[in-house]
């Protein structure tokens, strides 16, 4: 798989070569397919591989497999992986590559002894030293053969002299008292060496025949030619290297066979985006730090005033705090109460059932003691060049380029320096020239241009967004778009839509105007969100119950009103969080155990009473702050929060 590992091994002497099983995807029914594995990587045990796949399926780490069979025979290997209906075979196969030895790495280390010491060599060095070694082998072999040939030639020369003087040689031997005396007399008479004399004494009588003499003469002539050839090899390096080359070609001729593996130019690393199928997910976070993701289709649309369905089980005193819809391939940025930012992929959040509690977020993020997530923000693919706008509980706002958060370490990054007692509550992604509206717990709001907030670095504190009354605090911040509507929701389930132009643009750092008439009946303001009108509004109660209401079914009424009932809130409970989600095209629920006809009737009656102010002239809003109090704070300094 790919030539990167091969190139690295050849250039450095070390490398990891990615090897992958040979497989094919077979469509055997209109809506079903299967994966056929015909070859597996080198040194991978087939039985253990099949066992591992079965284990992954059992542990639900790999989804979409309905059956697994080993149909291997003498004809060849065949592992059949049958998939469930309408499952993407490529996603399953990539997942198996990631988690099993269907894809493995083969380590390469080209080590050799160089001058008696082990050394890692690249391909060029390896070839150089191998050729040098082969040259040395051929040289030493040639020298050995030459020495042997010369030694034999020396013996044959003595035997030839002895045969020419055979009668005298025999007489000397017969006249000698022993072998030693005979050897000395032969050496003295013919000038033989000791080895020649000994060979003559060891010669059998049959060598004296004429035929044997001819053989000796033929051997002598052949040896002379061999000695000349071997000597010429040692004298001519080019000729010697020719022998080395010929021997290598002979090895290739005898042992070369077609390549059994295929080298393909495929990226070595498997991107998790290729493994995880892209789909819309609802991500929920609880007040006590539990997080999970659920398929967006799990939630179906209901009528306004319905009871809703549970978004997840929560432990005692815990409740859902954040909910948003995003893609599995999108990044999710988390912002903590201490002003730090983290970023993970949506698919890295464990998927759970609708009623499951979820996973502690501390298992995914490296949070400090006393630190918890206060805002979570999905980042899409078309966000380059944008800004992150951050707002704190005490009404401090800051704008920072999103590019400053492109490389977030596992331990997180500082997103905003906070003054004592303050915390980060809301984050939005902007283009740099948008308008924002901020809502407070006491029902006040302020709309201002983003251009009133200059861009600052990550470590800056920010500037004042709204002047808060004593005991009041910011609950939400949203981006305002032309033609949109502003949705205000209270903790007692009351809500309304108001045209965005009802909230005039003011100067940043003013006291603002009334967004909702807050009474004991309505409870405090929970959110102030901006909607295009084609979404669904998801209200989450503090006990984990969620209701999904189409935005276009919410009454459009003026600013200084209480709104209509959107969700039934039992005594002791409250609306904890609100989120906008893409509209669900499923038909609204008409009945069943999860709807409440009495509640709908009650709300219908309440609507008539609560929307009455829009039919008659509304009394003047005497609580609005004069424009003179809406001027920006001239002493703002992003790095000195004391001046805010």
Model confidence band, residue 138 (pLDDT cutoffs 50, 70, 90) = very high
Model confidence band, residue 137 (pLDDT cutoffs 50, 70, 90) = very high
Model confidence band, residue 635 (pLDDT cutoffs 50, 70, 90) = very low
Q: Is residue 47 classed as helix, strand or coil in its secondary structure?
A: helix
> What number is the average pLDDT over the span 541-549?
84
CATH of 280-632, picked from 3.40.50.150, 1.50.10.20, 2.120.10.90, 3.40.1390.10, is 2.120.10.90
In 347-434 the beta strands, taken as DSSP E runs, fall at 359-360, 373-379, 387-392, 396-401, 413-414, 424-430
Domain 4-109 has CATH 3.30.1360.40: yes
Burial degree of 345 (CB within 10 A; 0-12, 13-18, 19+)? middle
Residue 566 has pLDDT above 50, yes or no: yes
pLDDT of residue 233: 92
Cβ neighbours, 10 Å, residue 277: 17
Model confidence band, residue 248 (pLDDT cutoffs 50, 70, 90) = very high
Could you tell me which residues are beta bridge partners of residue 388? 400, 429
pLDDT in tens, 267-276: 545 566 766 7
Burial degree of 144 (CB within 10 A; 0-12, 13-18, 19+)? exposed
Domain 122-255 has CATH 3.40.605.10: no
Q: Is residue 612 classed as helix, strand or coil in its secondary structure?
A: helix
Q: Which long-range contacts (CB under 8 A, 24 or more apart) does 244-252 make?
A: 244/131, 244/134, 244/135, 244/138, 247/134, 247/138, 248/134
Q: Over the chain, what is the mean pLDDT?
A: 82
pLDDT in tens, 282-294: 888 876 788 888 8
Q: Is residue 471 classed as helix, strand or coil in its secondary structure?
A: coil
Residue 314 has pLDDT above 70, yes or no: no
pLDDT in tens, 364-411: 888 888 788 877 778 876 566 788 999 999 999 999 998 888 888 878
> What number is the average pLDDT over the span 139-144?
95
> What number is the average pLDDT over the span 236-243?
93
pLDDT of residue 290: 86
The domain segmentation of the chain, as residue ranges, is 4-109, 122-255, 280-632
pLDDT in tens, 315-355: 555 656 677 788 888 888 888 888 899 998 888 888 888 77
Residue 118 has pLDDT above 60, yes or no: yes
């Amino acid at each position: 798989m790919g030539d990167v590992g091969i190139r690295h091994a050849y250039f450095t002497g070390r490398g990891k070569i990615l090897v992958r099983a040979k497989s094919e995807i077979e469509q055997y029914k209109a809506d079903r397919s299967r994966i056929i594995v015909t070859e597996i990587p080198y040194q991978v045990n087939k039985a253990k591989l099949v066992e591992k796949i079965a284990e992954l399926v059992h542990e639900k780490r790999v989804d979409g497999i309905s059956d697994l069979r080993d149909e291997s025979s003498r004809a060849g290997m065949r592992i059949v992986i049958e998939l469930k209906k309408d499952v993407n075979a490529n996603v399953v196969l990539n997942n198996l590559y990631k988690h099993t030895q269907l894809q493995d790495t083969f380590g390469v280390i080209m080590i050799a002894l160089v001058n008696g010491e082990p050394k890692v060599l690249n391909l060029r060095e390896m070839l150089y030293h191998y050729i040098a070694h082969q040259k040395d082998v051929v040289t030493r072999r040639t020298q050995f053969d030459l020495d042997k040939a010369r030694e034999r030639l020396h013996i044959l020369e003595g035997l030839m002299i002895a045969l020419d003087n055979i009668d005298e040689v025999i007489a000397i031997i017969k006249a000698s008292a022993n072998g030693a005396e005979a050897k000395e007399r032969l050496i003295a008479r013919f000038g033989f060496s000791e080895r020649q004399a000994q060979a003559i004494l060891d010669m059998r009588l049959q060598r004296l025949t004429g035929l044997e003499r001819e053989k000796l003469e033929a051997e002598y002539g052949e040896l002379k030619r061999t000695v000349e050839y071997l000597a010429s090899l040692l004298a001519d390096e080019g000729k010697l290297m020719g022998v080395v080359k010929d021997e290598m070609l002979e090895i290739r001729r005898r042992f070369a066979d077609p390549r059994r593996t295929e080298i393909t130019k495929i990226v070595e690393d498997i991107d998790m985006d290729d493994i995880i199928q892209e789909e819309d997910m609802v991500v929920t976070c609880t007040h006590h730090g539990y997080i999970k993701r659920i398929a967006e289709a799990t939630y179906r649309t209901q009528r306004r005033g319905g009871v809703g369905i549970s978004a997840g089980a929560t432990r005692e005193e815990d409740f859902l705090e954040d909910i948003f819809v995003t893609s599995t391939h999108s990044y999710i940025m988390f912002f903590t109460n201490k002003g730090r930012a983290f970023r993970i992929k949506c698919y890295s959040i464990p998927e759970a059932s609708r009623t499951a509690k979820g996973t502690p977020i501390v298992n995914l993020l490296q949070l400090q003691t006393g630190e918890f997530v206060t805002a979570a923000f999905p980042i899409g693919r078309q966000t380059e060049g944008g800004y992150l706008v951050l707002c704190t509980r005490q009404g401090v706002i800051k704008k920072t380029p999103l590019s400053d958060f492109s490389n977030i370490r596992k331990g997180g990054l500082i997103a905003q320096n906070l003054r004592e007692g303050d915390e980060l509550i809301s984050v939005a992604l902007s283009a740099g020239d948008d308008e924002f509206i901020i809502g407070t717990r006491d029902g006040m709001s302020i709309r201002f241009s983003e251009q009133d907030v200059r861009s600052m670095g990550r470590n800056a504190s920010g500037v004042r967004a709204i002047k808060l009354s004593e005991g009041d605090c910011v609950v939400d911040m949203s981006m305002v778009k032309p033609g949109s509507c502003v949705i205000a929701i209270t903790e007692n389930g009351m809500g309304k839509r108001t045209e965005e132009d009802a909230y005039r643009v003011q100067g940043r750092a003013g006291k603002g105007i009334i967004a909702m008439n807050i009474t004991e009946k309505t409870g405090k303001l929970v959110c102030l969100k901006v909607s295009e009108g084609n979404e669904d509004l998801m209200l989450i109660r503090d006990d984990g119950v969620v209701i999904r209401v189409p935005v276009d079914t919410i009454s459009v009424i003026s600013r200084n009103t209480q709104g209509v009932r959107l969700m039934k809130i039992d005594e002791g409970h409250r609306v904890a969080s609100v989120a906008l989600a893409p509209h669900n095209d499923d038909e609204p629920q008409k009945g069943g155990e999860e709807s409440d006809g009495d509640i709908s009737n009650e709300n219908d009656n309440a609507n008539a009473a609560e929307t009455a102010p829009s039919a008659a002239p509304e009394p003047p809003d005497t609580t609005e702050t004069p424009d003179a109090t809406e001027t920006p704070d001239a002493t703002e300094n992003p790095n000195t929060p004391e001046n805010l």
